[in-house]
Amino acid sequence: METPLTPLDFARRARKLYGNREAVVDGDLRLTYEQFLDRCDRWSAALQAMGVKQGDRVAYIAPNTHEQLESFYSVPQIGAVLVPINYRLTAEDFVYITGHSGAKVMCVHPDYLDAVDGVRDQLGGVEHFISLGPAGGRKGWMEYEPILTKSKPDFNRPDIAESDLLALNYTSGTTAKPKGVMITHRNAWANIVGTLVHFHITVGDRYLWTLPMFHANGWTFVWVITAVGGTHICLPKVEPARVFDLVRKERVGWLCAAPTILIGLANASAEVRGDVPKGVHVITAGAAPAAATIERMEGDLGWEVTQVYGLTETAPFITICEPRPEHKKLGTTDLGIIKARTGVELVTSGELRVVDEKGKDVPADGQSMGEIVARGNVIMEGYYKDPEATKKVMGDGWFHTGDAAVLHPDGYVEIRDRIKDVIISGGENISSLEVEGVLLRHPAVQEAAIVGLPHEKWGEAPHAYVVLKSGASATEQELIKLCRDRLAHFKAPHSVTFVQELPKTATGKIQKYVLRKGAAAVVRQ
């Protein structure tokens, strides 16, 4: 009587129970669940007509549009493997990922046709190029909508095992070639169910796509919202004014966002914000948000922020900063500090530990730092075509995250840094996130990044890169004094560089290796 654990079953249920409910809003387009899933079926049939078989790869380069959302159903339900590519990567990256994954079909939003056409001669393995919109008469491109319209919603539905690959999600490749993370149907199903246990999203809730769908399958919200019969509000380009406008007009109750998006929303002017509805639920991950940012989101906007943590390799959630009754008694500042913690295991994510260099659990004292390791049903199958990298992170039966953290007495984990980003100054460990959190409390500071730079006396010392709010001002000494007043003096930055923006990945993570490369060679006293 067992059936495979797959997110495709949520589509079956949604069609049965919510067929007439609104499923998708994309600009002026509105689709019910019956219409939405009918389109997915038609594209599945079209892909099969192109020769796509079970196990074949289908790549997409697209922002948050309904066509991109449809791919998360139409591709896997024929047993093919979805390859959602970060559209902010370079054309060279497109070539590498498409070739490495073995994609047979490439579906591209019109905004990225030029980039793909520029490297077309290097994409020999791709048999069909599909434009997810008007192709403008370009040679060699077929258009999505006409094909879908002519196709019948009848396709051969293969038997799918929960251990089958659902998606190949490529890491950002900031310091090396992107790695193909193999996510199975079971991995995704476990993350979806765990998310719904901890977040009470229900039928009729409306979700705004402020998170890229390509990133870890939109944190599986491409299926989460469908599972409960909610409405997907597509947003191809995230701008604070547009977010607030859609929250009002579409009665949005939920959204996911990296901290960089939260910072933009929290610091938006009253003119940009307009009349902001309260009670919106915000799920944040990708990098630890500062307590000050959470305080602004909750205090100024009246939105509820919950932090989750995970990686593309963990499908992606392995912790949630679970709210507890005793937290309600805390003041705004103390509550912000709690909410900025990484949290506790989700009920379906498996086991999580913080271990030292010898693999032993660190004491739950909130001070002893170790690495987060995990095992469970959300952990990837491995890196595609890279057994060496797979063994490196999973060889001992635990997935090693590379994140340095402490364990508090109440069981909450708190990330202190990427292990590679921990600053060791005069033998003392310094968490860049802790220092950044202090800088973000200054009223003039919009964003901050701390990196370790070589120092003649201490080996290395913290250096701050700071983005100021528009029209605001602050001095280097003023910011250094703020940190020295609130932290042990050795943790305070020795110097500050003011910049217009910080280099980031597409998911909002600050690229600290770029900052280290671009900085002065030596920091002196």
Residues 6+ apart with CB under 8 A from 461: 423, 425, 452, 453, 455, 493, 494, 523
DSSP string across 175-229: SSSPPEEEEEHHHHHHHHHHHHHHS---TT-EEE--S-TTTHHHHTHHHHHHHTT
How far apart, in whole angstroms, are the C-alpha atoms of residue 370 and residue 351? Answer: 16
- CA R_g for the chain: 23
**Over residues 310-333, mean pLDDT:** 91
Which one has a higher pLDDT value, 467 or 512?
Answer: 467
Percent of the chain topping pLDDT 70: 96
- pLDDT given for residue 490 in this prediction: 84
- pLDDT given for residue 521 in this prediction: 36
pLDDT, tens only, 339-352 = 888 999 999 999 99
**Residue bearing tokens 């250094």:** 480
List the single range of 151-155, 242-246, 257-261, 370-374 with lowest mean pLDDT: 257-261
- pLDDT given for residue 505 in this prediction: 72
Structural domain boundaries in the chain = 8-188, 238-355+402-418, 422-518
How far apart, in whole angstroms, are the C-alpha atoms of residue 212 and residue 89? Answer: 13
Side-by-side strand order, sheet with 399-407: 351-355, 370-375, 399-407, 413-418
Average pLDDT, the chain: 92
- Are the folds of 8-188 and 422-518 the same? no
Tell me, which fold does domain 422-518 have in CATH? GMP Synthetase; Chain A, domain 3 (3.30.300)
pLDDT, tens only, 207-225 = 999 999 999 999 999 999 9
Q: With bands split at pLDDT 50, 70 and 90, how would you rate the model's confidence at 70?
A: very high
- pLDDT given for residue 293 in this prediction: 81
Q: With bands split at pLDDT 50, 70 and 90, how would you rate the model's confidence at 524?
A: very low
pLDDT, tens only, 177-218 = 889 999 999 999 999 999 999 999 999 999 999 999 999 999
Which CATH superfamily hosts domain 8-188?
A: ANL, N-terminal domain (3.40.50.12780)
pLDDT, tens only, 382-438 = 999 999 999 999 999 999 999 999 999 999 999 888 887 778 787 677 888 889 989
- pLDDT given for residue 263 in this prediction: 83
DSSP 239: -
DSSP 276: P
- pLDDT given for residue 522 in this prediction: 38
- pLDDT given for residue 488 in this prediction: 80
CATH number of 238-355+402-418: 3.40.50.12780
CB atoms within 10 A of CB 166: 29
Q: Quick check: 128 pLDDT over 70?
A: yes
**Over residues 221-242, mean pLDDT:** 97
Q: Quick check: 357 pLDDT over 80?
A: yes
455: its two tokens: 């120092």
pTM for this entry: 0.87
**248-252, 436-440, 499-503: which has the highest mean pLDDT?**
248-252
Q: Quick check: 518 pLDDT over 80?
A: no
- pLDDT given for residue 294 in this prediction: 84
Which one has a higher pLDDT value, 264 or 29?
Answer: 29
Residues 6+ apart with CB under 8 A from 372: 342, 352, 353, 354, 401, 403, 404, 405, 413, 415
Q: Quick check: 312 pLDDT over 80?
A: yes
Q: Which helix (H) or strand (E) holds 414?
A: strand 413-418
- pLDDT given for residue 412 in this prediction: 95
- pLDDT given for residue 506 in this prediction: 60
**Residue bearing tokens 């060889």:** 395
**Over residues 251-274, mean pLDDT:** 91
